[in-house]
């Protein structure tokens, strides 16, 4: 994906605080944004696509995830959702939010 071109991954949201931080950034932009989640391998079992870990925190919109068209296997959010998530068809071309791991920062 485009995140990997920048040595990053789609964002994994682990907490209410991180979700609020991401929502604040999303609300400064228009459109929809991919997050790292997916239930592509087992319908209804949501996990972080980059590491296969189940969600430890969720922030679904009411009545979501719905798998409305039977192909909504990817996780997104957008301006106006106020930090809430929606399942969405993975083939849609929307923006994305990346994160980088700085566990081993370069110090010079």
Q: What is the pLDDT of residues 36-61, one digit of tens each?
A: 999 999 999 999 999 999 999 999 99
Judge whether 65 and 46 are in contact, CB under 8 Å: yes
Range of the domain at 9: 4-99
Helix, coil or strand: residue 6: helix
The mean per-residue pLDDT over the stretch 15-41 comes to 97
Query: With DSSP H G I counted as helix, E B as strand and the rest as coil, what are the percentages for the chain, rounded to 5?
Result: 15, 25, 65
* 71 within some domain: yes
The pLDDT value recorded for residue 93 is: 96
Per-residue model confidence (pLDDT) at position 7:
87
pLDDT of 107 above 70: no
Q: What is the pLDDT of residues 70-101, one digit of tens each?
A: 999 999 999 999 999 999 999 999 999 999 87
Rounded Cα distance between 26 and 42, Å, is: 28
Cα distance between residue 6 and residue 56, in whole Å: 26
| Separation between Cα atoms, residue 65 and residue 60, nearest integer Å | 7
27 located within any domain: yes
Please report whether residue 107 resides in a domain.
Answer: no
CATH number of the domain residue 43 falls in: 3.10.100.10
pTM, to two decimals: 0.90
């Amino acid at each position: 994906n485009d995140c990997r071109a920048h040595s990053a991954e789609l964002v994994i949201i682990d907490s209410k605080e991180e979700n609020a931080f991401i929502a604040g950034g999303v609300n400064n932009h228009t459109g929809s944004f991919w997050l790292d989640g997916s239930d592509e391998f087992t319908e209804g079992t949501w996990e972080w696509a980059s590491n296969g870990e189940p969600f430890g925190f969720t922030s679904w919109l009411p009545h979501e995830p719905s798998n409305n068209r039977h192909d909504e296997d990817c996780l997104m959010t957008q301006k106006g959702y106020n930090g809430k998530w929606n399942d969405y068809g993975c083939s849609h071309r929307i923006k994305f939010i990346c994160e980088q791991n700085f566990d081993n920062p370069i110090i010079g």
